[in-house]
Structure 1
Amino acid sequence: MRAAVLHGTAGAVLLTALVAAPADGRPVWPDSAGSPETLGTAVAAERAAAAGIRFGTCSKEQDVPGKLQCGTVTVPLDYARPDGKKIKLTVSRVRATGRDPHNSKRKVPRQGAFVYNPGGPGASGMYFPLIGFLPEWKRIAAAYDLVGYAPRGVGRSSPISCQDPKHFVKGPTPAPTFPSESYKKERIAEAKAYARGCVRRSGSAVRHYSSLNNARDLDVLRAALGERRLTFMGASYGTYFGALYATLFPSHVRRMVFDSAVNPAPEQIWYQNNLDQSAAFENRWADFRTWIARHDEVYGLGATPEEVLHNYEKARAQLAAEPAGGKVGPGQLQGAFLQAGYYDDYWPQRALALSAYLKGDPKPLIQQAEPHPEAAVEQENGNAVYTAVECNDAPWPTDWRTWDRDNTRLARVAPFETWGNAWMNLPCAYWPVARQQPVDVRALPGALPPTLILAAERDAATPYDGAVELQRRLSGAVLVTENGAGTHGIGGGPNRCVNGYLDAYVLEGRLPVRRAACAPHEEPKPTAPGGASKKATRPSR
């Protein structure tokens, strides 16, 4: 999936690995008993349990408050060779407060470590433990050590790269909704060069950056933390390798939360999931335009979604002719509004920036959409991990005609994100490393403790069908739906109903019978220039 814009919006395991591909290409069920990777994971976990994690002051580069502690855990690069090359994953922690947030005199028993992954692939969870200072998380922070980490390849965890970061963050860029044949050829050449660059800059080790190895790393982290069984919450992509973990190590699970679930069906990983994501973003873009139209008196962008779209396209055309500030073109505009497809708390400021731009003031749009060269290294690294993991995880179409056919058809009905998503993932068509077959994610009755799935009904980044499919595959899983909402990642957010189910499960192990629903959280309030709601003038047409 395209990385959530953080949170986003993705090397290969050899075919002799745990999920050696059958000749007919069927999804596989991992051999949990005797494969080299399974034995290697057990060896690595035993060593990690003996070594533990020496938490101490975080490095100056991490620039975090003093309550956050940092350490490392060692894992094999290749689990089939646990005595071979090792890499270190950075880990962060804030200890359980042990105090009831509503009654400071009341002590709360510690329940262990609560490990979190924010998704990606390519996102770091190193700052996650600081979330315990927010009101929505204080009950969990009282009972658990909050633990975040940077997965393999990310940040300081044996980072990989596919391109010189100075060339990765750039602007202005085009973003044609219906690209010409010449533009397609340019992007094909870029995708081929990028795929080659991943191996050239990161070496043959890139094949070991995969979702299966992320799941194995998670078990080594569990052992290093001294936990017999894992309490884990994964968001977005984190739900996918969390589901792999539940499949590979069901007896090691204590409690597991899947927030905004990826569809884990083998045939969906990853090409079809990205097509489905593009279709869902079109619906979420329509939700955003409807909201803007409902507040036409504030933004003056149109009283109907169609009028809002007209003004958005007008801005695209103007930016193509003359980029704002010389840096913000149609590509940057689309990227900024894609963020609003993930999180509706972006809606007021994005609408305000579009309105101001069309009235002659480009400053808010430049501020929100311009590239940031100082973030180039981090962003290029995240994109490299995204590419390596998604390309390694599954077979992708290698014939450009398949991509062209599927995305051309989809763009006719879902133009907002279709081609942008295609270009993001196209290096996987030319990936120079052997790929694996996706695991058949599944937990049979009694094999796995009950788990919790959280999903927003109109989530675009991980469409709702993925949550339904994950529940079908994990026996005993319970699905809680935020009806009518589309924010990506809902646990610990603004919806008290959702948070009630999250707290009840994480703190007490309590779940509804099979499914439950919550009303949507309150929509964002419109913001006019200066922060006040007032009647707006319409931009000229």
Structure 2
Amino acid sequence: MRAAVVYSAAGSFLLTALTATPAGGSSGAPGAVAERNGTVVAAARAAEAGIKFGACTKEMDAPGNLQCGTVSVPLDYAHPNGKQINLTVSRVPATHSDPHNSKRRVPRKGALVYNPGGPGSSGMYFPLVGTVPEWKRIAAAYDLVGYAPRGVGRSAPLSCQDPENLFKGPSSAPTHPSESYKRQRIAQAKAYASGCAKRSGSALRYYTSLNNARDLDVLRAALGEQKLTFMGASYGTYFGSLYATLFPSHVRRMVFDAAVNPAPEQVWYRNNLAQSAAFEDRWADFREWIARHDDVYGLGSTAEAVAGSYEKARTRLAAEPAGGKIGPGQLQSAFLMAGYYDDYWPSRAEALSAYLKGDPKPLIEQAEPVTESAAEAENSNAVYTAVECNDAPWPTDWNVWDRDNTRLARVAPFETWDNVWANLPCAFWPVARQRPLDVRTGPGELPPTLILAAERDAAAPYDGALELNRRLAGSVLVTERDAGTHGVGGGPNACVNGHLDAYLLEGRLPARHASCAPHPEPKP
């Protein structure tokens, strides 16, 4: 459930719980004091060492203007002089070139660090976004900096299973699973959790959102920045908010795009329930759009009729997978992307229409797993699982999951059970879980920050932006009304981008919460 586009990134996130577990995230706990002191030690060391940027690896296949380096961070911040791991970092220096006035040299404002979400997504290619017109003003003033968080890519990579076992298809995706199917998925979740422990060993417990926030402060110091300018999307807003809570005096400017609900009782189990409900609404938006263009797609003139066409395709694929590879599970994964980004609406609708008319090729092209990326996808999923399972208590009784999601699936069948299977390893997690930090800053503790949100975002429901706004004193919320793209900064909405530029380039925010009209719907 993770995906990225050039201006944003999506991360499926989860929800929190019911079982009591050791603290480790409470700011007053002895362990937290040691970790805070350890961060100071690690940041001082990084400031002295800096980052030696040079050519990127051949595997990245990156253009020459992208520079790469590494920064060393402690595996365990309570022991900053113990085992170290290297995080890979990328950069494109500020261009100083005003896109509207070629004769004007733009002064450098510092480094803008970006995280695309996940957990498990890499931001190594982010600096290349400076070539996109919507980003050129920001790229003129800032060094654009991306990085692979701990566990991701070449940054002390995590693994939970053999990548060759990842893309096995075709698969089913029942919206109302049988008891035998549930038992099968429970067994798979237990095996996956066991595999994470077996393949990662004692290091597994240190892959957490709190450590991601601490790593961010070490990266700040290594870049030579006294104050951090940071933009996080989706899950990146969560550990960004942890950073704001832990290190408010180290913040220069922060942008939270597609904000995750940071309330401790939501992290992560209940956030996933909210996410599944929101995807049902976004699935309805997509179906209504298809219905308005029935003359193009012929899938039905009402949202209900379009749903019938989709179910017809599911039934047919269950009986005879397209190309021998595409079953209902692959169809579901492909159409879930339309819940993240409406850019996918025309291609997905066209593929469904063509399939039902006898041409499976477009659907196969869009839904077929890319086996060449199996290792990357397995790594991303391992980090996602480890971070979310480590971060917070989860229900350990299957009956709780079954009760909550059976009830939800009656009104939100589209994504509910797939979300369960993605997160179920957390019910059987072999590592002690933390208690989530209470994200909160008082008046004057934190510089003003900017929150961006689409009102109908499914992956990060809008309530999360409202909650983050309440918790970070002085923050200002900019809403794209009646829109649901997951991550709106630097995208197609000029109004949103105007607020983003004003904040990052001038430190200027609206006097009060602002709203923007939605970007145009895609054309069929």
Report if TM-score (shorter chain) is over 0.5: yes
In the aligned structure 2, how far is the partner of 1:383 from the partner of 1:84?
27
- The 2-side partners of 1:64 and 1:418 are apart by 38
1:393 paired residue among 370, 391, 394: 391
Could you list the per-position Cα deviations for residues 160-182 of structure 1 after superposition, in whole angstroms to 9, with x for gaps in the alignment?
A: 00000000122111000000000
Partner of 1:7: 10
Could you tell me how far apart the structure 2 residues matched to 1:496 and 1:87 are? 40
Aligned pair in 2 of structure 1 residues 20, 48: CA closer, same or farther (>3 Å)? farther
Distance 1:371 1:323 in 2: 14
Counterpart of 2:94 (choices 93, 96, 111) is: 96
- Structure-1 residue corresponding to 2:291: 293
Q: How far apart in 2 are the matches of 1:308 and 1:9?
A: 26
Q: What is the SS of the residue equivalent to 1:285? A: helix
The 2-side partners of 1:371 and 1:448 are apart by 44
CA distance in 2, matches of 1:374, 1:166: 10
**Which residue does the alignment assign to 2:269?**
271
Partner SS, residue 271 of structure 2: helix
Q: Distance in 2 between matches of 1:232 and 1:125?
A: 12
User: Contact 2:22/2:432 (CA < 8 Å) preserved in 1?
Assistant: no
Aligned residue type for 1:448: L
Give the corresponding residue for 2:167: 169
Of the structure 1 ranges 32-41 and 400-409, higher mean CA displacement relative to structure 2 is found in: 32-41
Q: Any idea what the Cα deviations from partners look like across 1:415-458, whole Å, max 9, x if unmatched?
A: 00000000000000000000000000001110000000000000
Aligned residue for 2:103, secondary structure, equals strand
What's the offset of the Cα at 1:33?
A: 11
Q: What is the Cα deviation at residue 70 of structure 1? A: 0.3
13, 23, 28: which is aligned to 1:21?
A: 23
| Corresponding residue SS for 1:145 | strand
Q: Could you report, residue by residue, the CA deviation over 1:138-171 in whole angstroms, capped at 9, with x for unpaired residues? A: 0000000000000000000000000000001221
- Mapped to 1, the partners of 2:236 and 2:492 lie a distance apart of 21
Q: What corresponds to 2:222 in structure 1?
A: 224
Aligned to 1:147: 145
Q: CA deviation at 1:29?
A: 4.2
User: Which consecutive unaligned segments of at least 5 residues does structure 2 have?
Assistant: 14-20
- How far is 1:189 from its partner? 0.1
The runs of 5 or more residues in structure 1 that have no matched partner are 11-18, 527-541
Give me the whole-angstrom Cα distance separating, in 2, the residues matched to 1:82 and 1:311.
57
Deviation at 1:3, TM superposition (A): 3.2
Q: Distance in 2 between matches of 1:523 and 1:164?
A: 41
What's the offset of the Cα at 1:28? Answer: 3.9
After TM superposition, list the pairs within 5 Å mapping 1:42-53 onto structure 2: 42-53=40-51
Task: Report the counterpart of residue 18 of structure 2 in structure 1.
Answer: none
Q: Is the 8 A contact 1:30 1:248 kept in 2?
A: no
* 1:4 positional shift: 4.1
For the 8 Å contact 1:74–1:88, the answer to whether it is kept is yes
Cα distance in structure 1, aligned partners of 2:469 and 2:421:
31
Q: What do residues 32-66 of structure 1 show as CA deviations (whole Å, max 9, x unaligned)?
A: 99811000000000000000000000000111111
TM-aligned CA deviation for residue 477 of structure 1:
0.3
8 Å CA contact 1:292, 1:351 repeated in 2: yes
Contact 1:260–1:456 (CA<8 Å) still a contact in 2? yes
Counterparts of 1:208 and 1:67 in 2: how far apart (Å)? 33
> Contact (CA 8 Å) 1:32, 1:38: kept in 2 or not?
no
After superposition, where does 1:61-460 map in structure 2 within 5 Å? 61-460=59-458
> Residue 26 of structure 2 contacts residue 32 of structure 2 at CA under 8 Å; is this kept in 1?
no
Match for 2:286: what amino acid? F
Counterparts in 2 of 1:32 and 1:142: CA distance versus 1, 3 Å: farther
Partner amino acid for 1:177?
A: T
Kept in 2: contact 1:30–1:439 (CA 8 A): no
Deviations 1:290-323 (A, max 9, x none): 0000000000000000000000000000000000
Q: Say whether the 8 Å CA contact 2:31–2:78 is kept in structure 1.
A: no
The amino acid across from 1:9 in the alignment is S
The amino acid that maps onto 1:110 is R
Q: CA RMSD in A?
A: 1.4
SS at match of 1:254: strand
How do 1:517-528 residues align onto structure 2 when only pairs under 5 Å count? 517-526=515-524
Contact 1:192/1:430 (<8 A) preserved: yes
Cα distance in structure 2, aligned partners of 1:29 and 1:39:
12
**Using a 3 Å threshold, how does the CA distance of structure 1 residues 264 and 385 change in structure 2: closer, same or farther?**
same
**Which letter does structure 1 place at the counterpart of 2:12?**
T
1:294 corresponds to which letter in structure 2?
A: R
> Structure 1's 34 and 328: CA in aligned 2 closer, same or farther, altered over 3 A?
closer
Aligned twin of 2:495: 497
1:214-257 deviation digits (Å, cap 9, x = unpaired): 00000000000000000000000000000000000000000000
3-state SS of 1:116 partner: strand
- SS of 1:90's equivalent in the other structure is strand
Output the amino acid matched with 1:415: P
Q: Percent identity?
A: 77
Distance 1:456 1:32, change over 3 A: farther
TM-superposed CA distance for 1:99, in Å, is 1.3
Paired residues, number? 513
Distance in 2 (alpha carbons) for counterparts of 1:516 and 1:7: 23
Per the TM alignment, residue 125 of structure 1 is displaced from its structure 2 partner at its CA by 0.1
Q: Which whole-Å CA distance do the structure 1 matches of 2:242 and 2:458 have between them?
A: 22
Query: How far apart, CA to CA, are the structure 2 residues paired with 1:510 and 1:456?
Result: 21
Misfit runs of 4+, over 6 Å: 31-34
Q: Shift of residue 204 of structure 1?
A: 1.1
Name the SS for the 2:104 alignment partner: strand
CA contact (8 A) 1:4 1:119 kept: no
**Among 505, 508, 511, the residue aligned to 1:507:** 505
